[in-house]
A and B are shown apart, each in its own frame.
Chain A
Amino acid sequence: QVQLVQSGAEVKKPGASLKVSCKASGYSFKSYYIHWVRQAPGQGLEWMGLISPGGDTITYAQRFQGRVTVTGDTSTNTVYMELSSLRSEDTAMYYCARSVFTPHSHWFDSWGQGTLVTVSP
């Protein structure tokens, strides 16, 4: 079955960097984008960015430009999201999710379990 398995919870200090992984299995990795979406405590969903299966297309939401880096490893079907210069407002659950690799098809039919990130002095 389709699985997106994320790395475990993290506690970080302000100013530090974070790297979360998302390992895909149970489907053809080449056929889907991987996106990152975050959710602050008690809040809604916020799209951060995406990477194409081969890594040749990477798009970020403007508000995260310069702070977020998404990379992929096709040998292990794993995608990574790195967020730098962490602040308290980055405390959130971070999800990876997939969308099919065709134009105008960026709905998310499978999600990771989430990685809780806490930024605290």
Chain B
Amino acid sequence: EIVTTQSPATLSVSPGERVTLSCGVSQSVGTNLAWYQQRADQPPRLLIYGASIRATGIPARFSGSGSGTEFTLTISSLLSEDFAVYYCQQYDHWPLTFGGGTKVEIK
């Protein structure tokens, strides 16, 4: 099973700041990686798939990069609605696995 790891666990930032979240996987997944945002008491929402392709309706301030074993999600300028938990997910190998999440909280 591929181990998917996210860092940091929690990020305290101010609105307007640029944020970079990291995701690592234990073996190469190519670009078969997705990112999700989960706000409190809501299901996850797809942000990025194929490591760097924004899902339909996702604002341009969200961008993804990376391939192989190291990936990043960048939010260029945080808005209030971006304070949430972010998960990465690899879909190259079975079973599908998620990272433990990064909580982006208000500083």
- List residues of chain A with CB under 8 Å of any chain B CB: 35, 44-47, 59, 61-62, 95, 97, 99, 104-114
Complexed CA–CA distance, A99 and B92 (Å)? 13
Known A45-B89, A61-B95, A99-B91; further 18 A-B contacts with Cβ < 8 A: A45-B87, A45-B101, A47-B97, A59-B94, A62-B95, A97-B43, A104-B32, A104-B91, A104-B92, A105-B91, A106-B91, A107-B46, A107-B91, A108-B34, A108-B36, A109-B55, A109-B56, A111-B45
Do B49 and A107 touch across chains, with their CB atoms under 8 A apart?
yes
The interface size of chain B toward A, counting residues with CB under 8 Å, comes to: 24
**Which B residue's beta carbon lies closest to that of A6?**
B43
Knowing A44-B87, A45-B89, say if A106 contacts B43 (CB, 8 Å). no
A47 to B34 alpha-carbon distance, docked (Å): 14
Query: Does B68 belong to the interface (CB within 8 Å)?
Result: no
> Does residue B96 face the partner (Cβ distance < 8 Å to A)?
yes
Q: Evaluate contact between A112 and B43: CB separation under 8 angstroms.
A: yes
Chain A residues closer than 8 Å to B97, beta-carbon distance: 47
Q: Are B98 and A46 in contact (CB under 8 A)?
A: yes
Is there contact, CB below 8 Å, between A111 and B43? yes
CA distance A47 to B45 in the complex (A): 15
B35 to chain A, nearest CB (A): 9
Taking a contact as CB atoms under 8 Å apart, the answer to whether B44 and A106 are in contact is no
Assess the A113–B91 pair: CB atoms within 8 A.
no
Query: Nearest B residue to A112 by beta-carbon distance?
Result: B43
For B92, the chain A residues whose CB sits under 8 A away are 104
9 smallest beta-carbon distances between A and B, as pairs:
A111-B43, A107-B34, A106-B91, A107-B49, A45-B98, A47-B96, A61-B95, A44-B100, A109-B46
Would you give the shortest CB distance from A60 to chain B, in whole angstroms? 8
Interface flags, B32-55, vs A, CB<8A=1, else 0: 101010000001111001100001
Residues B95 and A106 in contact, CB atoms below 8 Å apart: no
User: What sequence of 0s and 1s flags, for each residue 85-107 of chain B, a beta carbon within 8 Å of any chain A beta carbon?
Assistant: 00101011011111111000000
Determine if B98 and A113 form an interchain contact, defined as CB atoms under 8 angstroms apart: no
Give the CA-CA distance A36 to B22 in the complex, in Å. 25
Bound-state Cα–Cα, A97 to B44, Å:
10
